[in-house]
Structure 1
Amino acid sequence: MKFTSRIKNAYNAFIGKGVYTDRNLQQLLDFLGIDAKNEKDLSEATYYACMRTLTESIGKLPLKLYRKNDKNGVVAARDHPLYNIVKDRPNKFMNGSIFWGTIEFNRNHNGNAYALIDGYGKNTQLWPLDDSKMQVWYDDALILGEIPDIYYLYSAGKKFYKFSSEEILHFKTSNTLDGVKGIPVRSQLKNTIQGNVKAQSLQNKLYENGFTAKAVVQYTGSLSDESVQTFLAGIEDYATGKLEKAGIKNLIPMPLGATLTPLNVKFTDNQFLELKQYSALQIASAFGIKPSQIGDYTKSSYASAEAQQLSFYVDTLLYILKQYEEEVTYKLLTPEEIESGLYFKFNVSVILRADLKTQIDSLSTAVSNFIYTPNEARAFLDLEAKEGGDKLLGNGAAIPVNLAGIQYQNETGGE
């Protein structure tokens, strides 16, 4: 039996009836100083660059609670107890940016992200849950409850907790076979990511060896296998820089009659950089990330940073944000509140904000055409409200369309 298998069995015996996971085993092996390769461990730069882009994009957008009023308008529902909880402090340990960023990271990396809804009203707290400890069951046989529902079984230590679908916020990737659980992006890109990891490992080894690849040693005479190994080991110590501490860096001593012929590896001949760049673009494409967002500006065709952000919002973020808004609205609000016009929505103006000159021109146009009041426009620029600035202003020459041309008619009927 392999030593890692014995550790695995010992770990299972140690936790009793707890749930075994590869993640926990890896932590135990790391603690014991055992080098056991974990296939879930990813050290691919492009993968985490894409994860960072999505995580920070979601984290920087405020999730606000709005209410539709009787005038067919929309106002922020600041008086509702969930307004500040969801936007600023989902739980006592996390602010809004960290919480929603954590949820987005788990959603992409694990395929599913879960958050427990703890409490009600002003006492509500949202707690992210570990995907590796969660099981999702559809109980159509009425084993777990009296009505068919999706139940979430969560293990914490030696305890199991059962939650109904109303108690868990569940966010999943866009790739799902049953509509209940999502498929991780890393599962779809397993071969591509593994190839990039191996390519990076090769590059690291070449750096460590001073870009000296394999070599052929020619020597005269006959040596036993043991002598050959000792002979080659000494040459390799010199070639790979293991004797740098002794002051020997660039010299390789060769005995009389021996010749060292390096087998050089040329990245250009193997199209190493081109293949690595193509793999990076494949990973970014799976996440919906634009090449320029991972540092590839070779084919950038956007007229401005604003146009680039708009494309990212429409092509990538819109679907993700809509899923978040629908799930949070349905799970956190009562049917009566939803019926009354309450709903959650991300404020995307944070990422679509233009330069100052464009903002001023747009707001000025909106104010002069009865769209914004001056104080509403000033609020966009983080300026205080002014007295008399709550009235709609505009061009007095504008008239309703049904009255167009009336100024040319003779009200008395005469000529």
Structure 2
Amino acid sequence: MGLFRDSYETRNINGYSNDEFMRLLGINNLSVNKDKLSEITYFICIKTLSEAVAKLPLKLFRETQKGTEKAVGHYLYSLLKLRPNPYMSAWNFWTTIEFQKNHFGNSICYIDMVKSGRDSGKVKGLYILDHKNVQIWVDDAGLISKDNAVWYIYTDNNGKEYKLCHDQILHFRSAISLDGITGLAIQDILKMSIENAQNGQKFINTYWKQGMFSKGLLQYTGDIGEKAMKTMQSKFESMANGISNAGRILPVPLGFNFTTLDNKLVDSQFLELSMWSARQISAAFGIKPNQLNMEQKYSNMELNQREFYLDTLLPVITAYESELTWKLLTEQERNEGMFFKFNVDAILRADFETRMKGYGIAIDKGFMTPNEVREKEDLPTDPDGDKLLVNGTYIPLSMVGQQYTNAPLKGGENIEE
């Protein structure tokens, strides 16, 4: 970690606070609207990732000599699959985790374990902590313990502080980190792009509220006082502005001439600039524009989903699986080959015809049993479906041609007999 300046080094997880880094990116973090979720592209990206992770079932597996099997009998299997804590379903838990990780850069979850008794060390539940009440202390000097460690200081609503070691916390950080400990919030990287998109949306909203009526010049050939000018201006705007006045005929008093300043959206390249901002925002989240319906790159939905999984979701769920396996399983369980893994079949699932053809090949070639196929389709198993099947006419290449002779075949009887 390097030299430790004081007793502890505190890492701020309430949005990255390194102003020098922001200046290197050309970001003025004092002029940006804090309500980032009001920008629709940013909100859609957050929602897309949160729901994509939440809809993937998390399962516990064990590697054995016969292959990988589900560890259904383990107590953590149902805990993480159904309800990580009494107050949140698995869906709500993972949508919240993914949202906080992207929006704030870090998502902190407390591992509640049994403290004593026969079940000591077992996980009772996982509780998401408010990121605003958590500070990260990096004990480089070993002041708290002999070994250098990362500590999480949580302050509850009553002001009481809890010192939690790193092995009591599930810490999910964003993909971008300058120190490997705290994540950088995407909203901080995109401050200017999001601000531009928000200003564009305000422009559109104002344009509609004014009845899509362009600004213009009101000319008068005679002389008019300042007070009368303001009165006429106010009266004219009340007749021209607003949705209710859109498309209506505007009466112009005698002696006045109104000339519009035609500021079309096309002339100001508003659509191009809006699309450019939206692409920047989606790129920061690692989401392709076609996934957000910005363009129709592929007509093949299966190919589109596979691309989304490989380029966007795979790095996300790999980080989750690594943290869960290391923090929730004991060293003995890990040595026995146990690990957590998200089931991605919900994303990579092909259409019915393609699946049936693939299953047929898998069974015919002898590397999947009928029951394994039936399980993937959520069908009940069959008593005779656990055997691998293969076409009985297949023979090794070394035996090709022997079936046409009277010589005995290796491992079998003479064909003619």
- TM norm. shorter chain > 0.5: yes
1:199 aligns with 2:185: no
Give the whole-Å Cα distance in 1 for the aligned partners of 2:215 and 2:132.
42
Equivalents in 2 of 1:143, 1:123: separation in Å? Answer: 28
**Structure 2 counterpart SS, 1:166:** helix
Q: Residues 226, 135 of structure 1: CA spacing in aligned structure 2 closer, same or farther, 3 A cutoff? A: farther
The match for 2:105 is 111
**SS across alignment from 2:37:** coil
Deviation (angstroms), 1:400: 6.7
Is structure 2 residue 361 aligned with structure 1 residue 360? no
TM-score (norm 2): 0.82
Residue 59 (1) aligns with residue 54 (2):
yes
Q: Structure 2 CA distance, aligned partners of 1:193 and 1:309?
A: 27
Query: For each residue in 1:342-372, what CA deviation from the matched residue of structure 2 results, as whole angstroms up to 9, or x when unmatched?
Result: 1000111111000111111111211122211
Higher relative contact order (CA 8 A, sep 6+): 2
Task: State whether residues 36 and 187 of structure 2, in contact with CA within 8 Å, keep that contact through their aligned partners in structure 1.
Answer: no
Q: 1:45 aligns with which of 40, 43, 46?
A: 40
Q: Give 1:142 shift.
A: 3.4
Partner of 2:321: 325
Matches of 2:409 and 2:218, distance apart in 1: 114
Tell whether the 8 Å contact from 2:36 to 2:42 is kept in structure 1 after alignment.
Answer: no
Q: 1:400 to 1:75 in 2, by over 3 A?
A: farther
Number of the residue aligned with 2:209:
208
Matched, 1:82 2:76: yes
Out of 327, 347, 351, the position equivalent to 2:343 is 347
CA positional deviation for 1:308:
1.2
Q: Percent identity?
A: 40
Tell me the matched-pair count. 374
2:290 corresponding residue in structure 1: 292
Deviations 1:144-192 (A, max 9, x none): 4453211111222222222110111111111111111111112112111
The residue type paired with residue 305 of structure 1 is: M
Q: In the superposition, relative to structure 1, how do residues 102 and 211 fare at CA in structure 2: closer, same or farther (>3 Å)?
A: same
* Pairwise CA distance, 1:398: 4.3
Alignment RMSD? 2.8
Q: CA contact under 8 A between 1:241 and 1:249: conserved in structure 2?
A: no
Tell me if structure 2 keeps the 8 A contact 1:238–1:248: no
Name the residue aligned to 2:7: none
Amino acid at match of 2:140: D
Question: TM-score if structure 1 supplies the norm length?
Answer: 0.83
SS in 2 for 1:55: helix
Q: Is the 1:238–1:251 contact (alpha carbons within 8 Å) kept by the matching residues of 2?
A: no
Distance 1:123 1:140 in 2: 29
User: Quick one: which amino acid aligns to residue 367 of structure 1?
Assistant: I
Residue number in structure 1 paired with 2:260: 262
Matches within 5 A, 1:391-406: 391-398=387-394
* Deviation of 1:143 (Å): 4.0
1:360-396 CA distances to partner (integer Å, 9 max, x unpaired)? 1111211122211111111111111112111111123
Quick one: distance in 2 between partners of 1:404 and 1:275? 69
Shift of 1:321: 0.9
Task: Show structure 2 runs of 5+ residues with no match.
Answer: 1-11, 16-31, 115-120, 411-417
Q: Which amino acid aligns with 2:374?
A: R
Counterpart position of 1:314: 310
Residue 133 of structure 2 is matched in structure 1 by 133
**Per-residue deviation at 1:81?**
0.5
1:51 maps to a residue whose letter is: I
Alpha carbons of 1:224 and 1:141: their partners in 2 closer, same or farther (altered >3 Å)?
Answer: farther
Q: Report the equivalent of 1:152.
A: 152
Give per-residue Cα distances to partners, 1:307-346, cap 9 Å, x unaligned.
Answer: 1111111111111111000000001001111011110001
